[in-house]
Amino acid sequence: MRLVLVKTVLAALCISTLLVTAVFAEDFSLTIPLPLTGKQAKFGEMMKRSYEMAAEEINAKGGIKKKRLLLSFEDSGAKPETARAIVEKLIDTKKQPIIVGEYTSACAKAVAAVAEERKTPYLIVASADDDITRQNYKYVFRQNQVNAHYADSIMDFLQKIVKPKTVAILFESSAFGTSGAEAMEKDAQKIGMKVLLKEKYEAGSVDFKPLLSKVKAAQPDVIYMVSYVMDASLLMKQIKELRIDAKLFAGGAAGFAIPEFIDNAKDAAEYAITATLWTPQLKYPGAKEYADKYKKKYGDFPSYHGASAYSALFVMKDALERAKDWSTDGIRTAMKATNLTTAFGPVKFQDKEGYQNQNFADTYVLQVIKEEHETIWPERYASKKYIYPIPTWRNRKG
Amino acid sequence: MTSSQIEVLLQTLISGLLLGGLYALIGIGMTLIMGVMKIINLAHGELMMVGMYVAFVLFSSFHVDPYLSVFVAVPVLFILGVLLQKFLINPVLKVEAIIPENQVILTVGIGMVLANVATIIFTSDYKSTPVEYATKAWYLSDIWKETPIELSLSMPWSVSFLLAIIITVLLWFFLTKTDMGKSIRATAQDKDAALLMGVNVERLRVFTFGLGSALVGAAGCLLLPIYYLYPDLGGQFTLIAFVITILGGLGSTVGAIIGGIILGIFESLTSTYVGMGWAPVGRFVIFVAALIFFPGGIVAILKRKRFGK
Amino acid sequence: MKRILPPVILVLLALLPLLGLSSYWMHIFILVIMWAVIGMAWNLLGGYCGQVSFGHAAFFGVGAYTAGILYNKAGLSGWWGLPLSIVAVTASALVIGFICLRLRGPFFALGTLAMGVILRVTTENLRSLTEGDLGIMIRERTWTEKTWYFYIILSIAASTYFVVRKVIESKLGYYFVAIREDQDAAESLGINTTFYKNIALCLSAVITGIAGAFYTNYMGYIDPKVVFALHDISIVTIMVVMVGGVATFWGPAVGAVIMVLLAELIRSIPKLGAAHHTLFGILLIVIIIFLPNGIVGDLPKLRKIFRLGRTS
């Protein structure tokens, strides 16, 4: 009985491989390092789903140069030495000519150093720390905007519409939070906005009220928060509870830009704005399709992390198709010449402002309007008109 | 002091007090377990996480209010704790080992498995129970129209605080009035004497671990409406539980309450007046200070005073 | 036989790079040896002297940051961190020892745990010295090849083994074990327990710190959350020793193999995804239930189990 079962399974396997090989002569296998366990696992998971969706679409359209793109994932647990181990293995034993992936800046730094030493192109998808592409690395490419520019659109919005005089900056204690807060401080000085308060907090804190009551007493025009994940929604909930009436509540991407922010903070999230690198409402080819498909499959819209991961495989496909051979240097040259519009937006790797191989993408401003993230700035991308001034807490319903 | 400074101070004290009540409940389970067994349970936070997922499942599938799910989470966690103690921890405690702390590996392993199983079942997405009253609060200005300062008291935080206090009082009654409770306290104070007095230590350990797990599970249910949930959230709460256990004194419920509230207020004050980035340092500085200057924790100080009279 | 075993193993290990191993395997071996060093260091204090520290990340981190700060602020090569970390780590060990060594048993464990966290947050907050959360990046790693890193960590491991062995076989080791077995009895025999505990702590800390300084040079990037990690450094250290064998010379090495190599192999099982943690967690639970003194510590027991298996 058991034998029969095994035989049928084997036969089925054979047939299925035959079917596949009938279409594809060869496989191109790509292993992606990601955090699948630990605190960052949520983002790893979102990116994994997006990579899978992209690979499916690429294979449905004939693969990369008639080769089937075969994805696999390895969990780095957001530990740099594990991320490094994975990448060393990919370069050495699997002879993978290009590396895509990782999420945290610490891991991306470890991977970038290995990639550069081993002269293998590495495409960074969502690690924001400025330093990574300021090392004169030749083989490291970054598709997402650097942290220093995350708030560009927000600054534009503030300057043109809100015209605030003072700001309070709250940020989480991490590389992302620190560099985001510092970029904001610099930008604020540029437009003559006074920084009343710049405070750090430990990610995952339960109670922000002591910090927030201090903010309340300082009465800033704008509260700018650089927070990962759920800290963002806790901050807004507790701001609502303390009835802190700033002219505007602004978030520096990450935690404010994920759908869980609204799901958890509910009405407290209303009117908050956030920087983001991507929104499902953008008119880039495939952006809406990707977002809808993701939502259908997993129940929620993806944030820019997912979109960047999704598009990264198309950037890779484009480079591989243009490369004269699939040697690491061939791919690097092709990557450097990338000029592609993806669902994530235009991708072009430039050397400027001290960065190398950096894609300077636009950033956008989202506002939570009727419990939805709407694109409000730059105005040419707007899906809804911004709401400003915002009502005080006391005058809001509920 | 200007009125706004007073407002900041009072608001800080209020949040510190509320936070402290929750901290106390998180710590009580550990203080019992550590008191009776002298083991370091690094899976404490993971047990709380399990309790939170119980509440989450009840909320998302049956719309049960997270506060009501205490009644489900407590028995579930009790059974889980009993099983863990009976089949995993007791066998290790029984064998002779060079260093008794080898049970630490066991609890780390248990924590790893619990967190990972939660990831497999629920994915690593952030979950929350968006209850309607999540951001409801009472305001001083609503009661007293021309108040010079504005203070707010969060409704879910206050409910969690009150429930935490009620659970602790019930526990205190249990520990002082029932035979089982008395044996737990006796064992926590002197294991050998308790053995001589005919306490079945092994059964007691199983029961205590179950009770400790149930308590931290209840704490998870009370935390869920004001916090959020993901599989790896356990670690930081384990640390908080350690601090309270030491601050309050091993095995003491009263100590845990006072310790929790002191910690909550201290943390809030550090956040306001030193900087929230330093708050964890403050937490561990009082922890180390308590270890060194008040071995035995707050309870020991209280007792000394009483004997002094 | 027993006498020649260590040099034989050393020679075998030293010949490893000549096999032409891939860079990946060299990385894994370097990590295994590094963890063996940290494990041996912890074993000196925890295994022999009985002071179970939950805060060895403090020493690892101070060592790592000594190298990082020397590179970043003084413009020196990060390798100076190896000798100079001894000073910094000894200083911090003396302070931590002064505070924590008066505590006993689980209280000492918790005290050191707290010190580790305090040092992490302090490092995060001292922006001007440590770059805070941004971490320190070594722009040019000394070698692209791993051979030299391998020999450096191997010689650190060999010296550590030698030092631990000499210390334990001397009078010092005898005092350590006496303190572990019964501190009050040792005291009444006229052993200055505080003094000897401090020696054990400092030795253990210094070795851990050197491993930390090596880590900075090898990985080329450190930040407070990585090198002062409670779970990934302090607790993994304890596990390395406990799984391998407490108070044995070879236990930490065996433990390091399990915690790094086996963990890596389990992690790489395709299709397992995130579930590898469950598998590894169960493995740890099984090991500790059946071998409470670790693999090397319960070797006789292991042998017995296998012999029984053969006869039946």
According to the model, what pLDDT value does residue C65 have?
97
Average pLDDT over residues A189-204: 91
Confidence of residue A9 (pLDDT cuts 50, 70, 90): low
Mean residue pLDDT across chain A: 89
Kind and range of the H or E run holding A260: helix A259-265
First to last CA, chain B: 39
Confidence of residue C310 (pLDDT cuts 50, 70, 90): low
Taking the C-alpha atoms of residue A300 and residue A295, their distance in angstroms, rounded to an integer, is 5
φ and ψ at residue A211, rounded to 5 degrees? -60, -45
Q: Say if residues B218 and B51 touch (Cβ distance below 8 Å).
A: yes
Average pLDDT over residues C276-303: 86
Residues of A in contact with C31 (CB under 8 A): 81, 85
Taking the C-alpha atoms of residue A343 and residue B154, their distance in angstroms, rounded to an integer, is 43
Q: What is the ipTM of this complex?
A: 0.89
Question: What SS3 string covers chain C?
Answer: CCCCHHHHHHHHHHHHHHHCCCHHHHHHHHHHHHHHHHHHHHHHHHHHCCCCCCCHHHHHHHHHHHHHHHHHCCCCCHHHHHHHHHHHHHHHHHHHHHHHCCCCCHHHHHHHHHHHHHHHHHHHHCHHHHCHHHCEECCCCCCCCCHHHHHHHHHHHHHHHHHHHHHHHCHHHHHHHHHHHCHHHHHHCCCCHHHHHHHHHHHHHHHHHHHHHHHHHHHCEECHHHHCCHHHHHHHHHHHHHHHCCCCCCHHHHHHHHHHHHHHHHHCCCCCHHHHHHHHHHHHHHHHHHCCCHHHHCHHHHHHHHHHHHHC
Taking the C-alpha atoms of residue A11 and residue A5, their distance in angstroms, rounded to an integer, is 10
According to the model, what pLDDT value does residue C18 have?
86
- List domains and CATH numbers for chain A: 2-147+284-343 (3.40.50.2300), 151-277+363-395 (3.40.50.2300)
According to the model, what pLDDT value does residue C222 have?
93
Confidence of residue A203 (pLDDT cuts 50, 70, 90): confident
Q: Which of A43, A47, A241, A371 to mutate to test the interface with B (most CBs of B within 10 A)?
A: A241
Bridge pairing between strands A364-369 and A273-276: antiparallel
Taking the C-alpha atoms of residue A227 and residue A245, their distance in angstroms, rounded to an integer, is 20
Between positions 208 and 267 of A, the ones with CB within 8 A of B are: 208-211, 213-214, 216-217, 229-230, 233-234, 237, 240-243, 260, 263-264, 266-267
**Lowest mean pLDDT: which of A381-385, C134-138, C270-274?**
C270-274
Distances (CA, A) of A369 to A154, A373, B127: 17, 6, 22
Q: By CA distance, what is C119's nearest residue in B?
A: B281
Asked if C268 has any chain A CB less than 8 Å from its own CB, the reply is: yes
Q: How far is C289 from chain B (nearest CA, A)?
A: 6
Spatial neighbors of C281 by CB under 8 A, at least 6 apart, are B108, B109, B110, B111, B112, B113, B116
pTM, two decimal places: 0.90
Q: Residue B295 — left, alpha, or beta (φ > 0 → left; ψ -120 to 50 → alpha)?
A: beta
Q: Say if residues A136 and A356 touch (Cβ distance below 8 Å).
A: yes
pLDDT tens digits for range A336-388: 999 999 999 999 999 988 999 999 988 999 999 999 999 998 888 899 999 98
Average pLDDT over residues B276-303: 83
Give yes or no for residue C41 having a pLDDT over 90.
yes
According to the model, what pLDDT value does residue A130 have?
87
Percent of chain A with pLDDT over 70: 94
CA A312 to the chain's CA centroid: 11
DSSP summary character for residue B89:
I
Q: How far is A337 from chain B (nearest CA, A)?
A: 37
Confidence of residue C2 (pLDDT cuts 50, 70, 90): low
Give yes or no for residue C312 having a pLDDT over 50.
no
Kind and range of the H or E run holding A166: strand A166-172
First to last CA, chain A: 65
CB contact under 8 A, C288 and B42: no
Give yes or no for residue A20 having a pLDDT over 60.
no
Asked if B16 has any chain A CB less than 8 Å from its own CB, the reply is: yes
* Dihedral, A20, A24, A30, A31 alpha carbons, nearest 10: 10
Percent of chain A with pLDDT over 90: 68
Q: Say if residues A154 and A365 touch (Cβ distance below 8 Å).
A: yes
According to the model, what pLDDT value does residue B191 have?
76
Q: Which has more confidence, B306 or A271?
A: A271
Side-chain half-sphere CA neighbours of B207 within 13 A: 15
Taking the C-alpha atoms of residue A188 and residue A197, their distance in angstroms, rounded to an integer, is 12
Confidence of residue A398 (pLDDT cuts 50, 70, 90): low
Q: Which of A40, A72, A109, A176 to mutate to test the interface with C (most CBs of C within 10 A)?
A: A109
Give yes or no for residue C7 having a pLDDT over 90.
no
CB count within 10 Å of CB A353 equals 12
Would you list the DSSP string of B219-286? HHHHHGGGS-B-TT-HHHHHHHHHHHHHHH-TT-HHHHHHHHHHHHHHHHHHHHHT-GGGHHHHHHHH
Average pLDDT over residues A158-162: 92
Asked if C223 has any chain A CB less than 8 Å from its own CB, the reply is: yes
Residue that has been written with the tokens 């017995």 in this structure: C304
Q: Residue C75 — left, alpha, or beta (φ > 0 → left; ψ -120 to 50 → alpha)?
A: left
Say whether A168 sits in a helix, a strand or coil.
strand
Confidence of residue C67 (pLDDT cuts 50, 70, 90): very high
Average pLDDT over residues B106-125: 91
**Lowest mean pLDDT: which of A149-153, B279-283, B296-300?**
B296-300
**Lowest mean pLDDT: which of B90-104, C42-56, C208-222?**
B90-104
Taking the C-alpha atoms of residue B72 and residue C102, their distance in angstroms, rounded to an integer, is 43
The residues facing A224 across adjacent strands are A169, A250
Average pLDDT over residues A191-208: 91
Residues of A in contact with C141 (CB under 8 A): 113, 117
Average pLDDT over residues A153-176: 92
**Lowest mean pLDDT: which of A315-319, B1-5, C278-282?**
B1-5
Spatial neighbors of B140 by CB under 8 A, at least 6 apart, are B147, B149, B150, B151, B152
Spatial neighbors of B114 by CB under 8 A, at least 6 apart, are B43, B46, B47, B49, B50, B234
Give yes or no for residue C110 having a pLDDT over 90.
no
Confidence of residue B309 (pLDDT cuts 50, 70, 90): very low
Q: How far is B220 from chain C (nearest CA, A)?
A: 22
Between C100, C278, C292, which is nearest B102 by CB?
A: C292
Mean residue pLDDT across chain C: 90
Kind and range of the H or E run holding B154: strand B152-154
CB contact under 8 A, C297 and B119: no
Pick from B160, B138, B170, B168: which is nearest to B65 by CA? Answer: B160
Q: Which has more confidence, B36 or C164?
A: C164
The residues facing B154 across adjacent strands are B137
Give yes or no for residue B52 having a pLDDT over 60.
yes
The two three-digit tokens of residue A230, written as one number: 């759920």
pLDDT tens digits for range C207-250: 999 999 999 999 989 999 999 998 889 989 998 998 899 999 99
Asked if B15 has any chain A CB less than 8 Å from its own CB, the reply is: yes
Taking the C-alpha atoms of residue C152 and residue C213, their distance in angstroms, rounded to an integer, is 12
According to the model, what pLDDT value does residue A316 have?
96
Pick from B218, B303, B219: which is nearest to B255 by CA? Answer: B303
Give yes or no for residue B190 having a pLDDT over 60.
yes
Bridge pairing between strands A355-359 and A248-251: unpaired
Give yes or no for residue A4 having a pLDDT over 60.
no
Q: Say if residues A126 and A144 touch (Cβ distance below 8 Å).
A: yes
Give yes or no for residue A14 having a pLDDT over 60.
no
Q: Which of A172, A174, A198, A228 to mutate to test the interface with C (most CBs of C within 10 A)?
A: A174
Spatial neighbors of C34 by CB under 8 A, at least 6 apart, are C153, C211, C214, C215, C218, C256
Average pLDDT over residues B189-193: 79
CB contact under 8 A, A260 and B134: no
φ and ψ at residue C209, rounded to 5 degrees? -65, -40
Taking the C-alpha atoms of residue C289 and residue B106, their distance in angstroms, rounded to an integer, is 8
Taking the C-alpha atoms of residue B65 and residue B52, their distance in angstroms, rounded to an integer, is 12
DSSP summary character for residue A394:
G
Q: Which has more confidence, A79 or B102?
A: A79
According to the model, what pLDDT value does residue A24 have?
76
The two three-digit tokens of residue A143, written as one number: 């598709």
Q: Which of B112, B114, B126, B230 to mutate to test the interface with A (most CBs of A within 10 A)?
A: B126
Q: Which has more confidence, A312 or A230?
A: A312
Residues of C in contact with A37 (CB under 8 A): 274, 276-277
| Domain assignments of chain B as residue spans, ordered by start | 36-135+200-230, 233-309
DSSP summary character for residue A64:
B
Taking the C-alpha atoms of residue B195 and residue B178, their distance in angstroms, rounded to an integer, is 18
Taking the C-alpha atoms of residue B93 and residue B103, their distance in angstroms, rounded to an integer, is 7
Pick from A212, A237, A207, A234: which is nearest to A223 by CA? Answer: A212
Q: By CA distance, what is B275's nearest residue in A?
A: A199
Between positions 226 and 255 of C, the ones with CB within 8 A of A are: 226, 232
Average pLDDT over residues C93-98: 94
According to the model, what pLDDT value does residue A110 have?
92
Residues of B in contact with A200 (CB under 8 A): 275-277
Confidence of residue C85 (pLDDT cuts 50, 70, 90): very high
Give yes or no for residue A1 having a pLDDT over 50.
no
Distances (CA, A) of C211 to C39, C79, C82, C161, C176: 10, 12, 8, 13, 23
Mean residue pLDDT across chain B: 88
**Lowest mean pLDDT: which of A299-303, B15-19, B277-281?**
B277-281
